[in-house]
Amino acid sequence: MYKIFIRPLLFLLPPETAHHYTLTLLKVFLKIPLMRNLVRMIYSRNDAKLRRNVYGLEFPNPVGLAAGFDKNALYMDDLACFGFGFIEIGTVTPLPQPGNEKPRLFRLSKDHALINRMGFNNDGVQVISERLKKRKSKIIIGGNIGKNKNTPNENAADDYLKCFTALFDYVDYFVVNVSSPNTPGLRELQDKEPLLKILKTLQEKNNSQSKRKPILLKIAPDLTPRQLDDIIEIAALTKIDGLVATNTTISRENLVTEKRVVESIGAGGLSGSPLREKATGVIHYLSHKTLLPIIGAGGIMNARDGDEKIKAGASLLQVYTGFVYEGPALVKRLCQSFLQII
């Protein structure tokens, strides 16, 4: 139904408009009596065999919604109805910021892909933490944190610490985002020295709490093997809990969409089907060099893609672009396929 009727209508609208329109309507739709129960019944796959204990957290199933879909924690209780095992909000920055100029989200329909250069648009950590206080669902929530655009890289650790401190009581785990291509200079924080500083600062705060929270690092798919080895070394030195592999790519290789169309879009991170192979390769490389649990993301459009990530070494999965193109049934299909390979 989604791919035949709903998606064609949504794709008549600009991508960012369609996103906000869909989520607004969803919130209204789910206020209808008994509708939440009906949606859960249709889209959820409940089975004890799907449960996964990762990072010391009990996930009801291994399929999560990636950061960026619900940046401002406005729809987490609504999206929880669609069978996700966990939802990641953000990326959150200390101060609110509008992000980059529109248009900043583009579809490559022939490639089942998106290009975005959102630029960490969000309402700021104080507003978002207040929303998280009021959440009703018990779904596991991850907090994806970043730095403000105007914060110099030498002060980046302060921004991450502010977000970490403000969100600590309201999320179940943290993801440190230094890999978005859409904030100038952000990916430079993946270099050894600045990344060590950020993670050590967060871990010092984390270890001072009565009960610490898992800290994960989200990495780019465009890193070289040497850079991945540095990430593994940094993860060991700072004793973080896991990795998210991967963020979007700056590559434009092997696209079906006409070159002139892609060039007219310009800069931004590419997600969806063209990212699948590259992201899986990073997961495979990391899983053979570290025992850290990995959340696999990037190009998961169907059950086969999810199986591929699990077999490459991912413990959990995250979807975003696949959810846009395939609709909510994707979550249930991934869960059902997971039951067949365990």
Q: What is the mean pLDDT of residues 298-302?
A: 98
Rounded-to-integer distance, Cα 274 and Cα 243, Å: 21
Residue 272 has pLDDT above 80, yes or no: yes
Contact present, 57 and 36 (Cβ < 8 Å): no
Q: CA angle, corner 205, sides to 202 and 210, nearest 5?
A: 130
pLDDT for 211 beyond 90 = yes
Residues linked to residue 65 through DSSP beta bridges, in sequence order: 87, 319
Which token pair is 213? 């929270």
**341 confidence band (pLDDT: 50, 70, 90):** confident
Count Cβ atoms below 10 Å from residue 253 Cβ, excluding itself. 8
Please write the tens of the pLDDT for every residue from 146-192.
999 999 999 999 999 999 999 999 999 999 999 999 999 999 999 99
Task: Report pTM.
Answer: 0.97
- Mean pLDDT score of the chain: 97
Provide the pLDDT for residue 1. 82
- The residues assigned a catalytic role are 180
Percent above pLDDT 70 for the chain: 100
- At 35 the pLDDT is 97
> For residue 76, what pLDDT band results from cuts at 50, 70 and 90?
very high
Residue 163 is predicted with a pLDDT of 98
188 neighbors 146 (Cβ within 8 angstroms): no
- Predicted local confidence at residue 333, as pLDDT: 97
pLDDT in tens, 79-117: 999 999 999 999 999 999 999 999 999 999 999 999 999
Local confidence band at 278 (pLDDT 50, 70, 90 cut-offs)? very high
Average pLDDT over residues 202-209: 98
* CA–CA separation, 271 and 15 (whole Å): 14
Section 236-255 average pLDDT:
97
- DSSP H or E stretch at residue 185: none
* pLDDT score for 164: 98
